[in-house]
Amino acid sequence: MKDWAFTTTIEEMEAATNSLLETAQKVGADTWQQRVKNQTPHCGFGESGTCCRICSMGPCRITKKAPRGICGCDVHGIVGRNFLMFTAGGAATHSDHGREICHTLYQTKPDGNYTVKDPEKLIRIAKEWGVETEGKDIYDLAHEIAEMALLEYGKPFGTQRFLKRAPEHTQKLWHDAEIEPRAIDREVSQSLHMSHMGCSSLPEALVRQALRAGLSDGWGGSMAGTEFSDVLFGTPKPIDTEANIGVMEKDNVNIVVHGHDPSLSEMIVYYANDPEMIAYAKSMGAKGITVSGVCCTSNEVAMRHGIPMAGNYLNQENVVLTGACEAIVVDVQCIFPALGPLSKCFHTKFITTSPIARIPDSEFIRFSSATAGDNAKAIVKMAIENFKNRKPELVNIPNLKQKARVGYSVEAIVKVLDGVANSQVDEFGTTKPLLECVTSGVLRGAVAMVGCNNPKVRPDSAHIGLMKKMLENDIIVITTGCAAQAAAKAGLMDPEKAKEYCGAGLKRVCELAGIPPVLHMGSCVDISRMMILAAELSKDSGIPISQLPVVGCAPEWMSEKAVSIGNYVVATGIETFLGVDPYVKGSSEICELLTGEHGVKDWVEAKYVVDTDIESLGDKMIACIEAKRAALGI
Ligand code: MSK
């Protein structure tokens, strides 16, 4: 076992949090650590998925004495419906994020708030969709493609356009299993229809629709979110940044962006760098302006501008507890309502911006693409003017940060790995160098590690522990979301330091390509990038996705979105390992369908593995990768 001397340990992160919790106590602030205690133990019916409250005859809770709800639904139907509703919530959320991005694309104009930053990508997608591009103005094309993308949400006939990106083998599996997603809104809506009182209670039908709704997210709404964010804001390229709470700066105005939609944070970043705003901050006694981020909004601006990452999901209260946060500006998703009352204990302005995320005790500045510049400027100004209200005796920014190289879009990965082997590359590049590393055994395989934090798991310990284990075993890690930020905070994205902890093969690849062994691929919607990468690897090798030595893992997941993600990753043929139970253990039939050898595995050639013992989860992941290698004879 290596001595991970250069990384930031979980203990150091906890010590930093504890010092912030002392401030919380001083000012009488409520924190999630306390609320977890108040909520423990959790309801056993809820945890096993056996509580039904979809009509007003109940709620019905299934026990040995009462094996059916009042309508007669058994435990398998109840657990299955709950699982499907969870998925629909996640698919709706990710996809609606994608829809907002499409609307923003529709608003682009040469001198507007939003412009087309990656015209090549736009043209590539247009060609893929059979749209004539020759001689067309790029903004006319942007508007045409945006409208086509928006129609994917409600088209009356046909299936999602992006499905054609999958290998033919995968497309056939989806077709045969009848899980090809049609219009995105239709899949969400049909999921809620099926789980309504008096509709489906057949486990197989519920799980099949859960996969279909998940696919409408991963190969529909999320993919639109990612692709058109790239068109709007630029396709990420490797860029250096820093991560952990110490990126906030004591003498500067600190603005923290939090949420998911880059349309807002891009503008905040732009105006925070405006010389006029910097001069204004100086006139207010600050040395400058620091924008940092939390959750996926942070990933978006880190990948494109090198904006530092202050923390992930369970760190969102920490940024306020530093006493040095002038404004925490949020858009949508993963935002604790607790930030309202917490901010009131400090001078912090808690600014909500979206009609989709209205939260008590916040200041609401409605953000829209038409007025984006003015909105962002007003927010930055508000933060600057709040600097003077700081209480110096409450300021405590723990000195914890690590360097991180981020920005590994599929395009970037293909490009950097081309330096490792001398394969021929076509116009858009190829994954062949990566495949050569895997088939030769230099790399044993890859893990896509994604997802949130969850107080049920010691924060970040599962992400970081599993990543270290993979690196030592020559397994490269690709990551998004809060898992990515966990890696960055620990130092696993510092190419110089992290390579020292890899097995010999992975270390060599990292040195030759100048990459860290844990690759930051973006935010939650960017898991669609991982699907594209898997599809390209399969097409370039002729090996079905399910046979590649690649697995997915969400060891600390918590949100409905994560269940939707899990469903589309599994449905894409990638075995997916969870460290938190998805509220299904109350039904042997649903568990069998999701984790057995003859459920979803028969339809899509992959399944879930759930193990809350993280060490054992890691062993199973490695065993799965090695078994796939053995089956391929490599
Ligand atoms: S932000 S969904 S806590 S990864 Fe995408 Fe993090 Fe999970 Fe939110």
Q: What does the alpha-carbon distance between residue 208 and residue 195 come to, in Å, rounded to a whole number? A: 13
C-beta of 430 in contact with ligand 1 (< 6 A): no
Q: What is the DSSP string of 565-605?
A: HHHHHHHTT--EEESS--S-TT-HHHHHHHHSTTSHHHHHS
Closest to 12 (Cα-Cα) out of 457, 464, 469:
464
Across the range 553-572, mean pLDDT stands at 98
Q: Percentage of residues in the chain with pLDDT exceeding 90?
A: 94
> Residue 139: which of 175, 163, 112 has the closest Cα?
112
295 CB within 6 A, ligand 1: yes
Residue 170 has pLDDT above 70, yes or no: yes
Structure tokens at 114: 């939003």
Lowest-pLDDT range of 31-40, 64-73, 427-436, 524-533: 427-436
From the CA of 560, how far away is ligand 1's center (Å)? 10
What is the mean pLDDT of the segment spanning 151-174?
98
Q: Is 296 in the pocket of ligand 1 (CB under 6 A)?
A: yes
Question: Contact, 574 vs 608, CB < 8 A?
Answer: no
State in Å: Cα 448 to ligand 1 middle: 15
Q: Band the pLDDT of 430: cuts 50, 70, 90.
A: confident
In the predicted model, what is the mean pLDDT of residues 196-219?
98
CA nearest to 550, candidates 485, 602, 495, 627: 627
Query: Residue whose CA is closest, atom 7 of ligand 1?
Result: 452
For 83-91, what is the mean pLDDT? 98
What is the pLDDT confidence band of residue 309, given thresholds at 50, 70 and 90? very high
Tell me what pLDDT residue 2 has.
Answer: 61
pLDDT tens, residue by residue, 354-406: 999 999 999 999 998 889 999 999 999 999 999 999 999 999 999 999 999 99
List the strands of the sheet with 475-480, edge to edge: 518-522, 475-480, 445-449, 550-554, 576-578, 608-610
Q: How far is CA 605 from CA 150, 203, 417, in A?
A: 31, 19, 28
pLDDT band at 552 (very low <50, low <70, confident <90, very high): very high
Nearest CA to ligand 1 atom 1: 295
| Contact 561 CB / ligand 1 (< 6 Å) | yes
Contacts of 390 (CB under 8 A, 6+ apart): 323, 324, 326, 347
Q: What's the rounded Cα separation, in Å, for the pair 604 and 558?
A: 24
Measured at the CA of 406, the angle between CA 403 and CA 408, to 5 degrees, comes to 155
Atom 8 (ligand 1) nearest CA:
334
Atom of ligand 1 nearest to the CA of 260: 5
3-state secondary structure of 68: strand
**Phi and psi angles of residue 328, each rounded to the nearest 5 degrees, phi first:** -110, 115
Strand partners, 447: 477, 551
Mean pLDDT of 569-595: 98
pLDDT tops 70 at residue 420: no
Model confidence pLDDT, tens digit, residues 608-631: 999 999 999 999 999 999 999 999
Query: Measured from the CB, is residue 481 less than 6 Å from ligand 1?
Result: yes
**In a mutational test of the pocket of ligand 1, which residue from 298, 559, 560, 565 has the highest number of ligand atoms less than 8 Å from its CB?**
559
313 lines ligand 1 (CB under 6 A): yes
**What pLDDT is attached to residue 417?**
82
pLDDT at 248 over 70: yes
pLDDT > 70 in the chain, percent: 98
Reading the block at residue 246, the tokens are 């110490």
Mutation choice for ligand 1 from 561, 564, 569, CB with most ligand atoms inside 8 A: 561
Token duo for residue 241: 């940044």
pLDDT at 1 over 70: no
Q: Which two tokens stand for residue 165?
A: 């990106």
482 lines ligand 1 (CB under 6 A): yes
Q: What is the number of the ligand 1 atom nearest to the C-alpha of 524?
A: 5
Give pLDDT tens digits for 114-125: 999 999 999 999
Interhelix angle 372-386/275-283, rounded to 10 degrees, is 20
Q: Is the pLDDT of residue 427 over 80?
A: no
**For a substitution probing ligand 1, which of 95, 258, 294, 295 has the most ligand atoms within 8 Å of its CB?**
295
Going by pLDDT thresholds of 50, 70 and 90, the confidence category of residue 419 is low
Q: What is the pLDDT of residue 422?
A: 53
Q: Is 498 in the pocket of ligand 1 (CB under 6 A)?
A: no
Instruction: In whole angstroms, give the CA distance from residue 233 to residue 247.
Output: 23
Confidence of residue 460 (pLDDT cuts 50, 70, 90): very high
Choose among 408, 410, 402, 414: nearest CA to 464: 402
> What residue type is 133 in one-letter code?
T
- 185 CB-contact burial (10 Å; exposed 0-12 / middle 13-18 / buried 19+): buried
CA 297 / ligand 1 centre spacing (Å): 10
Q: Is any ligand 1 atom within 6 A of the Cβ of residue 334?
A: yes
**Spatial contact of 622 and 86, defined as CB atoms under 8 Å apart:** no
pLDDT for 3: 66
Closest ligand 1 atom to 485 CA: 6
| For residue 531, pLDDT beyond 90 | yes
Q: What is the pTM of this model?
A: 0.97
Could you read off the pLDDT of 471-499 as tens digits, one per residue?
999 999 999 999 999 999 999 999 998 99
Q: Which residues are within 8 A (CB) of 342 and not within 5 positions of it... i.e. 6 or more apart?
A: 29, 30, 31, 317, 320, 321, 348, 350
Residue with tokens 């097409």: 539
Q: Which of 334, 456, 457, 529 to mutate to test the pocket of ligand 1 (most atoms within 8 A of CB)?
A: 334
The pLDDT value recorded for residue 421 is 58
Residue pair 448/530 in contact (Cβ under 8 Å)? The answer is yes
CA of 58 to the centre of ligand 1 (A): 32
Angle 411-413-416 from CA coordinates, rounded to 5°: 110
**Cα(260)–Cα(293) distance, rounded to whole angstroms?**
10
Sign of CA dihedral 382, 383, 387, 393: positive
* Residue 7 reports pLDDT greater than 90: no
How high is the pLDDT of residue 325? 98
Please choose from 303, 482, 523 the residue to mutate so as to test ligand 1's pocket, defined by most ligand atoms within 8 A of CB. 482
Q: What is the mean pLDDT of the chain?
A: 96
Decide whether any atom of ligand 1 lies within 6 Å of the 336 Cβ. no
CA distance 201 to 72: 10
Cβ of 523 closer than 6 Å to ligand 1, yes or no, is: yes
For residues 348 and 365, give the distance between their C-alpha atoms in angstroms, rounded to a whole number. 15
Mind listing the pLDDT tens digit for each residue in 259-270? Answer: 999 999 999 999
Task: State whether residue 62 is helix, strand or coil.
Answer: coil
Token readout for 601 is: 């595995």
Over the stretch 505-524, which tens digit does the pLDDT of each residue have? Answer: 999 999 999 999 999 999 99
Running DSSP on this structure, what letter comes out for residue 364? E
Residue 110 CA, ligand 1 centroid: distance in Å: 33
Task: Look up residue 428 and give its DSSP letter.
Answer: T
Residue 369: predicted pLDDT: 85
Helices (H) and strands (E) in the chain, counts: 27, 16
Residue whose CA is at the smallest distance from ligand 1 atom 3: 452
Residue 536's SS3 state is: helix
Bond prior to 59 in cis (omega within 30° of 0): yes
Confidence of residue 314 (pLDDT cuts 50, 70, 90): very high
